[in-house]
Amino acid sequence: DTGVSQNPRHKITKRGQNVTFRCDPISEHNRLYWYRQTLGQGPEFLTYFQNEAQLEKSRLLSDRFSAERPKGSFSTLEIQRTEQGDSAMYLCASSSRGGDGNTIYFGEGSWLTVV
Amino acid sequence: GENVEQHPSTLSVQEGDSAVIKCTYSDSASNYFPWYKQELGKRPQLIIDIRSNVGEKKDQRIAVTLNKTAKHFSLHITETQPEDSAVYFCAASKNTDKLIFGTGTRLQVFP
């Protein structure tokens, strides 16, 4: 077990509703990443944090998406006014610039289905 | 920005044969190249990685080679087993600012 925890694991929501996913990274990992993966595709980068600072956001992250990491530990990804195209697996990952160097570990993902 | 291309998209081999998956990247500043294995409905799991200061790395049946000049890296799996069947993703990164993934290779190993 890599230790990155995500919840909920599965979420079914109606179009137009808001959803929030939570990610708890491996303890003491200062970098946290969000990716989105649809069936048959590779993970697509959305955003990442170093401690509490959001360092980069992909242009894939529309204004309906917001991510936070208020205390530099867990992070939340909120999707407002969900659309059917938002249906995907949302993956969180973490890394440390310390002993493991660049190794990035993924969580089990949060599956979103928008109906 | 970085772009990673991966080939082939599907690969079928007989148990015991070798499998090779190839990736190319566009950003010459990329210096970290991991490979992930993903089984259906599960998380990507790191199987091997290589940094730009080495040309080859091996871990039991798995090896990765890197050609920085050609901006090309490959995954080699020898003595394949049915449990190697999965989707494999290559990725490239510059100082782990973010990983850019390839499109994946579905490997099927037939007994």
Q: What is the pLDDT of residues A39-84, one digit of tens each?
A: 889 999 999 999 999 999 998 788 999 999 998 899 999 999 999 9
Q: What is the pLDDT of residues B47-60, one digit of tens each?
A: 999 988 888 999 99
Q: Do A104 and B99 touch (CB under 8 A)?
A: yes
Q: Is B7 on the interface with A (CB under 8 A)?
A: no
Q: Does the bond joining A70 to the residue before it have cis omega, within 30 degrees of 0?
A: no
If you write DSSP's letter for every residue of B29-93 in order, what string do you get? Answer: T--EEEEEEE-TTS--EEEEEEETT-SEEEETTEEEEEETTTTEEEEEE-S--GGG-EEEEEEEB
What percent of chain B has a predicted confidence (pLDDT) above 70? 99
Residue of A104, A91, A78 lying closest to A6 (CA atoms): A91
pLDDT, residue B96, reads 66
A104 contacts in B (CB within 8 Å)?
Answer: 34, 46, 93, 96, 99
Instruction: Let me know the angle formed at the C-alpha of B95 by B91 and B98, rounded to the nearest 5 degrees.
Output: 50
Tokens linked to B101: 């993934």
Q: What is the pLDDT of residues A2-47, one digit of tens each?
A: 599 999 999 999 999 999 999 999 988 899 999 999 988 999 999 9
